[in-house]
Amino acid sequence: MSINSNDFQYLQNFLKTSSGLIVNPEKEYLLKSRLEPLARSNGMNSIAELVVGMKGAASTELKGFVTDAMTTNESLFFRDKTPFDHFENIMMPYFLEARRTRKRLRVWCAASSTGQEPYSLAMSIKEEAAKYMGWKFEILGTDISKTVLKKAATGEYTQFEVQRGLPIKLLLKYFTQQGENWVLNNDIRSMVRYKEGNLLENFASIGTFDIVFCRNVLIYFDLETKREVLNKIARQMEKDSYLLLGAAETVMGVCDKFEAVKGTRGLYKLVG
């Protein structure tokens, strides 16, 4: 059964305002697949009832559940591999020289989901510990979803999750098996801090960064929102810092604050 047009429009407007997510009519299946189970888990029989609840006086928690359900995206360790190669072979060699006096590097993983991306970076750094002797690394993971942040902070993953992208040597080196799941060791977990954050809101309080990973997020936004988010991210970056986007994303024609790094895919440097 299709979603009532008024309900669809309400959800469409709510998601655009709350998270920047654009849900076109052809994505109705996505609303149904994510929100019908949510409605049932809250004792409701349909999305129509869910919308009624969202419009009610005590709707704050329910609206949070809806945003969570629609913005929770799949993540895996060392996803797409190329960005992590850029981190090790381009960004870190540059910063070892450019930050040789300060010896401190801040990395921001925006839309960090369940934590695989920031933990992959932490493991990459740990693997080269001798090279970074005396350096201090700060990795911040932010996400709009409290649910994924809670999972990320535990550092606990299923067998299925650790099998996706994670080399077996790193699994055995940095994880401990507990029952059917695998838990990251404290030395890796302690390298990453998590904080709730919405890219549509003001995030000036998190400070400035040398590297920003913001992958597979902009594809869900319209052009105006992409421009707004990229300009805000630029204000949180050091003058010679790097931005890494997803393979299907670009700053070209959207934001003039960045320039592409030649010979790479998805890697940009702040201009000026």
Give me the residues paired with residue 271 across strands.
none
**Is pLDDT at 48 greater than 80 in this prediction?**
yes
The helix (H) or strand (E) run that includes residue 243 is strand 237-245
Query: Which sequence spans correspond to the domains of the chain?
Result: 5-71, 82-270
- Euclidean distance between CA atoms 218 and 230, whole angstroms: 9
Residue 72: what pLDDT?
A: 65
**Is pLDDT at 42 greater than 90 in this prediction?**
no
Residue 227: what pLDDT?
A: 94
DSSP state of 193: E
Quote the pTM value: 0.84
Band of residue 58 on the pLDDT scale cut at 50, 70, 90: low
- Euclidean distance between CA atoms 113 and 51, whole angstroms: 26
Residue 57: what pLDDT?
A: 64
Is the four-CA dihedral 199, 145, 267, 104 of positive or negative sign?
positive
- Euclidean distance between CA atoms 242 and 244, whole angstroms: 7
| DSSP for 142-190, written as a single string | EES-HHHHHHHHHTEEEHHHHTSS--HHHHHHHEEEETTEEEE-HHHHT
- Euclidean distance between CA atoms 98 and 253, whole angstroms: 29
Give me the residues paired with residue 196 across strands.
143
Mean pLDDT of 28-45: 84
Residue 41: what pLDDT?
A: 84
Number of alpha carbons in the 13 Å side-chain half-sphere of residue 107 = 24
Structure tokens at 227: 């421009």
Q: What is the pLDDT of residues 133-188, one digit of tens each?
A: 999 999 999 998 888 899 999 999 999 999 988 999 999 999 999 999 999 999 99
Sequence-separated (6 or more) residues with CB below 8 Å from residue 2: 28
Residue 64: what pLDDT?
A: 82
The answer to whether the CB of 34 falls within 8 A of the CB of 69 is yes
The answer to whether the CB of 94 falls within 8 A of the CB of 267 is no
Residue 1: what pLDDT?
A: 64
Of 220 and 235, which is predicted with more confidence? Answer: 235
Sequence-separated (6 or more) residues with CB below 8 Å from residue 252: 260
Which amino acid appears at position 19 of this protein?
S
Residue 207: what pLDDT?
A: 94
In CATH, which superfamily holds the domain spanning 82-270? Answer: Vaccinia Virus protein VP39 (3.40.50.150)
Distances (CA, A) of 114 to 123, 158, 260: 16, 12, 28
Residue/partner pairs of 90-95 with CB below 8 Å, 24 or more apart: 90/242, 90/261, 90/264, 90/267, 91/211, 91/242, 92/128, 95/210
Share of the chain above pLDDT 90, in %: 58
| Phi, psi angles (nearest 5°) of residue 241 | -90, 170
The answer to whether the CB of 69 falls within 8 A of the CB of 35 is yes
- Domain 5-71 sits in CATH at 1.10.155
Q: What is the pLDDT of residues 68-114, one digit of tens each?
A: 777 767 789 999 899 999 999 999 999 999 999 999 999 999 989 99
Residue 19: what pLDDT?
A: 79
